[in-house]
Structure 1
Amino acid sequence: MSSHTVEDSGLKRGLKARHLQMIALGSSIGTGLFLGSGASITLAGPAVLLGFILAGTIIFLIMRMLGEMAVAHPVSGSFSFYARKFIGPIAGFITGWNWWFTCIVVGMLELTAAGAFMDFWFPGHPHWVTALVCLLVITAINLIHVGAFGEVEFWMSMIKVVALIAMIVLGFCLVLGVGPNPAIGFSNLWAHGGFSPTGLGGFMLSLVAVTFTFGGVVSIGTAAGEVENPTRNIPKAINSVIFRVIVFYVGGVGIMLLLWPWNQIDATTSPFVSVLVGLGIGGAAIMLNVVVLAAALSVFNTMTYSGARMLRDLALNGQAPPFFTHTTRRGLPLRALLFNSGLMGGAVLLNFLFQGQLLFALMAIILAAEIISWSAIAISHLRFRAQLRREGQTSAYRSPFSPLANYLCLAFFALLLVLMGFLPDYRIALFALPLWIMTLALIWLGQQFHQRRHSTVVAEQAPKSCPDELAARSTVSQLSN
């Protein structure tokens, strides 16, 4: 296995600025927001809005760190590449395989959620059928070319954005009494036990579910190797994150809390849809459920794209089988795509065997894996900045408040791990996290041992009288690994 880093030139820069903007806007507007936000509301009540602001600020700082490195090194390997380059090969191996794993599990989550959302129209239908149809359609789209992925993601994200804005506007009209109905007013924010009815403890615990909703946002980094003019377009896309936090998360969840008592929201269904049904706006609820389903497919689309690029980057750098380095003439990592889709298709079987039991287990696993990725970005950025200082250089797109922001983010992620221990649904993932890291580290060490042993055998078999041939064969051996 090679310890050097390969910057990828096999992919095509087929993503336009508008594609990247919508990937940034839509990558985390999925199951986490439309379904997972119900769990965070039941833990903290209206105070969950402060949780979204806090977690959103942390993720925005992480995105700025990622953006600074992506502008300097716009490659598809993203934070795996940066961990490998600025921390070390083993860090790149763990980070890359962890993000690949995250993409697979998030894809399975979104396929599972799609079946749950279909229950709105067809209660009790087989979820595995929905998962299978969605898997085939999205895989087919990604098999065309990167522009097809970008175009589909653009329009599905546009649907999510427009629908959320429309719901926020409709909600404010209902709150203020614009139209034939009397004003609902603002009293639901404090009329049912106060603004923070569960106290500081409930608010702290809600940060776990709240932070999960931001998980897909860093997938924009894996698009850096295929976006046109990355120096200009990456900063524009990342700067939109703070806009998304304010409008879509705080605005969308805030409207729900204004329209409906927080203690009557069901954590197992989409709170957005259930609130509209409760208000008697059935037509809007039907339309919104279409949007919620599209949101799940949008995130699955992004994970299909992102996971394949990460697997190919690992293969390019000797950290995955070279079989996955292959791209078609259109710059498509076909083998990586098909392999990942096959694994995500496991959601079809799991939904057949365990329908209704997967969502929260998958959410817990995903959050634990995401903490690894976010932490790797913060540490890589510290090393990146240190290298720039040694070389007397500065970045074209600087992340604010570094290094203080880096340490603040790492402390927040450590707090999340502590809080996960208090939540039964997340506890199993907390215990599995160190085992997962140890497993990846052991695989890395095993590959390193195999490489050194192979190099030694080649050296011993080389003719002693031909040092030049020995050196040449050793070099070929290293490159092939």
Structure 2
Amino acid sequence: MGEKNTEANTEATESAGLRGELKQRHMRLIALGGVIGAGLFVGSGVVIEDAGPAAIISFMLAGGLVILVMRMLGEMAVARPSVGSFYAYARLALGNWGGFTIGWLYWYFWVNVVALEAVAGASQLHVWLPGIPLWVISLCLMVILTAVNMFSVKSFGEFEYWFSSIKVAAITVFLVLGLVFVLGMWPGAHADVSNLTAHQGFAPHGIGPVLAAVIPAVGFFTGAEIAALAASESSEPRRNVAKATNSVVLRVLLFYVGSIFLVIAIVPWNKPDVADGPYVAALQEIGIPSAGTLMRVLVLVAVLSSLNAGLYSASRIVFALTRNGDAPRGLTKLSKRGVPRRAILLATTLGYVSVIIAYVSPDAVFSFIVHSYGAVALFVYLLVALSQLRLRRRLEREAPESLQLRMWWYPYLSWFTVAAMTVVIVTMAVLPSTRMDFAASAITLVVVLAAYGVRAYRRRGRGGPAAEAPAGPPADAPGTAVAETAATGTGATAVSAPEGPRS
């Protein structure tokens, strides 16, 4: 039975034109390292500064939301492995508008990440290469990782494997050193966690900042879903998604909550160094030599990993969008190695433009770009949750045997996730510190919805399919017709619902 599933999954990948070249070790490290970004090592200091020791609670709440969303995504991905992952599920569950919206929002998010990480990586390298202009370093990083992604999906997997290996090894070493220090087993140390309450209490600024800190904390977890997106290019997508989904709980609790707990236990939260670099401050407190240099190298690796993953994610979601006419058909063309090079170039072209803008107009245009994707990940996660609620009912009715991985306590926990994500988004709109991010992100959402409206209008004008045709049943459902889509030129399969009575 397992062999049959593997063969079917491989055939599904090949039918889309993509190649299942990602191995188990690639997928394992992509899943492990996906949540470890530069935000953990640098940005978490801002959360600690705002919430105090109670930042542990902020990360627990944010991590809990991401765990629930990943479980919902995992349920859909195991039931129906698909190129484009959540784009395909939103289209099935919510209709054409849902797929179009979530696909382009996710693409926009990663295109911005590519530009921002290129600038951040250049800033790290500029310390060692002060004679080279920042914009030159940024463009060089973009060119190198573009070449990696253009070559083959296997090259992406290899780079991400080693990037993630370094990140996981580093955070594991920190966890071991921190635990040894806190337990008093380090030379000159004694068991002590008094820093959790000794400086104005556990929540020195009250509960408000603790809840507000959930917003940036959720952003630090973005990337956990890449394993589901990459699964379609592995030999066993169902198995890989199930493993990634089941391990996300451990990754969130161990890497984020565990390491933040140790940082706060080791060094006073209100020490000035913590806001700038909490892990450097903790390592210096332990007495690790050259802690700043070591962390700079680690941040650079995390930045390059995010840049690599961003190019991959943006290109694959656009490739999925082309299969239903939600993106130009020309982007569907694949190289001989099964790589959507045009889709990669689209992402990098806008990335190059953003990098140039970062140095030409840092306070105007680039400032808007930075703010305009702040809530986009939240919009995407909310649409994923809504898709699972609707698709689950359909799967239970038409293909219950496909539900090998189920959302906990459905539908109550699913509705709770939707409500919690909505509260976070509304809070972001209300708080002065995040209001600009929400407003700019809302403009992005409106632009995408307007683009869908224009697309739907033009299709109706050409006598094309209705803009809001009901989404067909899952591909695994009995009676589903699978038709060859010749228009894409890739042999991609398209799911179509059985014909019913016409109105």
Q: Which moved more, 1:356-365 or 1:47-56?
A: 356-365
Q: What's the secondary structure of 1:143's corresponding residue?
A: helix
Does the CA contact (< 8 Å) of 2:51 and 2:209 recur in 1?
yes
1:220-267 Cα offsets, whole Å, 9 max, x none, are 222121111112221012211111111110121112112211112457
Determine the structure 1 residue equivalent to 2:422.
414
1:32 is aligned to 2:7 = no
State the distance in 2 between where 1:96 and 1:331 align.
21
Q: Which residue identity lines up with residue 407 of structure 1 in the other structure?
A: W
Q: Which moved more, 1:365-374 or 1:413-422?
A: 413-422
Q: What's the secondary structure of 1:165's corresponding residue?
A: helix
Change in CA separation of 1:17 and 1:265 when aligned onto 2, cut-off 3 Å: farther
Does the CA contact (< 8 Å) of 2:65 and 2:421 recur in 1?
no
Determine the structure 1 residue equivalent to 2:412.
404
1:436 Cα deviation from its structure 2 partner: 2.5
| Alignment match of 2:463 (pick from 450, 455, 473) | 455
1:322 is aligned to 2:329 = yes
1:432 is aligned to 2:454 = no
Does the CA contact (< 8 Å) of 1:39 and 1:268 recur in 2?
yes
Determine the structure 2 residue equivalent to 1:352.
359
Q: Which moved more, 1:23-32 or 1:269-278?
A: 269-278
State the distance in 1 between where 2:281 and 2:56 align.
19
Determine the structure 2 residue equivalent to 1:464.
none
Equivalent residue runs for 1:222-241 within 5 Å: 222-241=229-248
| Alignment match of 1:166 (pick from 147, 154, 173) | 173
1:2-34 Cα offsets, whole Å, 9 max, x none, are xxxx99611011111221121112122112212
State the distance in 1 between where 2:366 and 2:292 align.
22
Equivalent residue runs for 1:185-264 within 5 Å: 185-264=192-271
State the distance in 1 between where 2:275 and 2:353 align.
23
1:269 is aligned to 2:258 = no
Q: What's the secondary structure of 1:348's corresponding residue?
A: helix
1:303 Cα deviation from its structure 2 partner: 1.1
Q: Which residue identity lines up with residue 442 of structure 1 in the other structure?
A: A
Q: What's the secondary structure of 2:388's corresponding residue?
A: helix
Determine the structure 2 residue equivalent to 1:117.
124
1:256-297 Cα offsets, whole Å, 9 max, x none, are 112211112457633222443466534233222211110111
Change in CA separation of 1:121 and 1:25 when aligned onto 2, cut-off 3 Å: same
State the distance in 2 between where 1:215 and 1:208 align.
12
Determine the structure 1 residue equivalent to 2:30.
23
Change in CA separation of 1:281 and 1:294 when aligned onto 2, cut-off 3 Å: same
| Alignment match of 2:383 (pick from 349, 363, 376) | 376
State the distance in 2 between where 1:359 and 1:280 align.
39
1:117 Cα deviation from its structure 2 partner: 3.2
| Alignment match of 2:310 (pick from 296, 303, 310) | 303
Q: What's the secondary structure of 1:407's corresponding residue?
A: helix
1:338 is aligned to 2:350 = no
| TM-score where L is the length of structure 1 | 0.88
Q: Which residue identity lines up with residue 76 of structure 1 in the other structure?
A: V
1:118 Cα deviation from its structure 2 partner: 3.7
1:134-166 Cα offsets, whole Å, 9 max, x none, are 211111111111111111101110100000111
Determine the structure 2 residue equivalent to 1:47.
54
Does the CA contact (< 8 Å) of 2:195 and 2:266 recur in 1?
yes
Q: Which moved more, 1:101-110 or 1:173-182?
A: 173-182
| Alignment match of 1:313 (pick from 305, 310, 320) | 320
Does the CA contact (< 8 Å) of 1:41 and 1:262 recur in 2?
yes
1:423 Cα deviation from its structure 2 partner: 4.2
Change in CA separation of 1:206 and 1:377 when aligned onto 2, cut-off 3 Å: same
State the distance in 1 between where 2:252 and 2:488 align.
46
1:391-436 Cα offsets, whole Å, 9 max, x none, are 2624011121221122111112122123223544421121233332
Determine the structure 1 residue equivalent to 2:76.
69
State the distance in 2 between where 1:42 and 1:80 align.
36
Determine the structure 1 residue equivalent to 2:93.
86
Does the CA contact (< 8 Å) of 1:28 and 1:217 recur in 2?
yes
Structure 2 alignment gaps of length 5 or more = 1-11, 465-485, 490-503
Does the CA contact (< 8 Å) of 2:90 and 2:383 recur in 1?
yes
1:147 is aligned to 2:154 = yes
Q: Which moved more, 1:299-308 or 1:390-399?
A: 390-399
Change in CA separation of 1:248 and 1:123 when aligned onto 2, cut-off 3 Å: farther
| Alignment match of 1:182 (pick from 189, 194, 198) | 189
| TM-score where L is the length of structure 2 | 0.84
Determine the structure 1 residue equivalent to 2:102.
95
Does the CA contact (< 8 Å) of 2:371 and 2:441 recur in 1?
no
Q: Which residue identity lines up with residue 164 of structure 2 in the other structure?
A: S
State the distance in 2 between where 1:118 and 1:257 align.
28
Does the CA contact (< 8 Å) of 1:360 and 1:425 recur in 2?
no
Q: What's the secondary structure of 1:19's corresponding residue?
A: helix
Q: How much is the aligned-residue C-alpha RMSD, in angstroms?
A: 2.7
Change in CA separation of 1:275 and 1:118 when aligned onto 2, cut-off 3 Å: farther
1:336-379 Cα offsets, whole Å, 9 max, x none, are 11121121123421332356999997665434111111011111
